[in-house]
Structure 1
C-alpha cells in the first residue's frame, strides 16, 4: 500500500531508495543541481556498476555538474523539454513527490509525496515505471563532452575575475565574506536569505533584494556567471 511522505520522510526515503538500488536507478527532476550527499550516493552506485538514468528539464547545467558527470561511467543523462515531474525509483520502490533533487535535505521546505513498493502495489508501480520509461524515450540523451581542463580553467578565470572586482570596489565576494566569518559560502547565503538580503527562486538561484542593495550588496555578471559583492563590514 502506498505510504504518505512528509518533508523529512521524503528526504529519508529518497536516500534509502538510492542506497538500496541493486539493478537500476531512475531519477527524474526538472532541476539538475545535486548536493554532496546525493553525489556521494550516486558515486557508490556507479562503483557497483548500477544502471543510473537521470532526466532533467532545465538546460542550465552548471560546469561543476558537467565535470562531475564525466567521471561516472554508469550514469546516463537525458534532457526532457517541459519536464515538471519529480519521480525517483529503483527496481523495487518508487517515490513521486514535490521534492526537486536540488532541494534534497532542505527540511525547511514543505514537501509532500508518496512511496510505492512493487511487492505491495504492483500495478501502480508498473504504471509509474512505464511512464518513467516513456519520459526517458522522449528525452534527448546528453553527451558530456566538455573538456575537464577547460572547465577548470574557466572556473579559475571566473574566480580571478571575482577577486579583481572585489578589490576594485573595496568589497568582498560572498565566498570571501564567508571566509572572514569562518562560514561556508552556502551557510552565508542561507543567512542572507533569512535576513532578507537575498531571495531564493524555485530553481535554486539567488537574487538580491532592495534590502540587500541598501546594505551595500551588488550583483555582478560576467561571461562565466553571476556573483554578489558585499561591504566587508556587512553584519550577519
Structure 2
C-alpha cells in the first residue's frame, strides 16, 4: 500500500528512487533547477546508461548548469506548458509529492507526499506511470542552448526595466515557442525569407531585409542574440 512521506522521508526516498533506477528514470517538476546532490546522482545514472527523462515547466538554470546538462548523453529534456505536477518514477517506484527538485534536501520546508511501489500497488503505479507518459507525449523535447537561455535571461531583465513597447519583441526561441516550432527550424525559415544569412562557419547574421522587418541584433555580456517583432511572419 502507499506510504505517506513527510519532508525528510520525501528527500530520503527520492534519493533512493534515483539510486535504484535500473532501466529508466522520469523526473517531472515545474522548475528545472538542480542542486549538487541531484547532479551527482544523475551523473551516476548517466554513466550506467540509464534512460532519464526530465520534464519541466519553467527554466531557472544558470549557464554552468546548462553546460553540465549538455555533457550527459542519456538525459532528455522536455518542456510542458502549464506544468504543476511533481512526480518522480523509476521502473518500480513512484513518488507524488509537493517537493520540487530544487527543494531537494531543504528539510526546513514542510512537504507531503506518497510513495507507491509497483509490487504493492500495481494499479496505482500503472495509472501514475501512464499519466507521466502522457505528460511526456504532450511536451516538447528540447536541446537547451546555452546562448538562447542566456539571451532569454538578458531580455527578461531588459523587459523589466524598459517601456512596454519593448514587450512586443521576442527572442528567436520565444518566437519559435509561439509558433510551436523548434528554434533551429525558425532560424532556417528566417534564413529562407532573407532575414538572416549564414557565414561559412554556420553563424547567423541579420540582413538589411531582416532589419527592415523589425529584426534586431543585440550584444550582452553573455554574447549576441536576435529580437523579432512578435508578429514576424516566418512562412
**Number of aligned residues:** 153
Cα deviation for residue 141 of structure 1 reads: 0.6
In structure 2, the residue matched to 1:40 is 40
- CA deviation map 1:68-125 (0-9, x unaligned): 1100000000000000000000000000000000000000000000000000000000
- CA deviation map 1:176-217 (0-9, x unaligned): xxxxxxxxxxxxxxxxxxxxxxxxxxxxxxxxxxxxxxxxxx
In structure 2, the residue matched to 1:172 is none
Partner SS, residue 141 of structure 1: strand
In structure 2, the residue matched to 1:232 is none
After TM superposition, list the pairs within 5 Å mapping 1:74-85 onto structure 2.
74-85=74-85
In structure 2, the residue matched to 1:11 is 11
The answer to whether the Cα contact below 8 Å between 2:26 and 2:54 also exists between their aligned partners in 1 is: yes
Partner SS, residue 114 of structure 1: strand
Partner SS, residue 141 of structure 2: strand
TM-score by length of 1: 0.62
Partner SS, residue 82 of structure 1: coil
Mapped partners of 1:31, 1:51: distance in 2: 20
After TM superposition, list the pairs within 5 Å mapping 1:1-236 onto structure 2.
1-146=1-146
Q: Which runs of 5+ in 2 are unaligned?
A: 155-219, 223-235
Partner SS, residue 128 of structure 2: helix
Q: Which runs of 5+ in 1 are unaligned?
A: 155-221, 225-236
In structure 2, the residue matched to 1:184 is none
Q: Superposition RMSD on alpha carbons, in Å?
A: 2.0
TM-score by length of 2: 0.62
Cα deviation for residue 223 of structure 1 reads: 6.5
In structure 2, the residue matched to 1:208 is none
Cα deviation for residue 64 of structure 1 reads: 2.4
Mapped partners of 1:28, 1:64: distance in 2: 22
Cα deviation for residue 136 of structure 1 reads: 0.3
The answer to whether the Cα contact below 8 Å between 2:33 and 2:60 also exists between their aligned partners in 1 is: no
Cα deviation for residue 146 of structure 1 reads: 3.2
The answer to whether the Cα contact below 8 Å between 2:54 and 2:75 also exists between their aligned partners in 1 is: yes
In structure 2, the residue matched to 1:203 is none
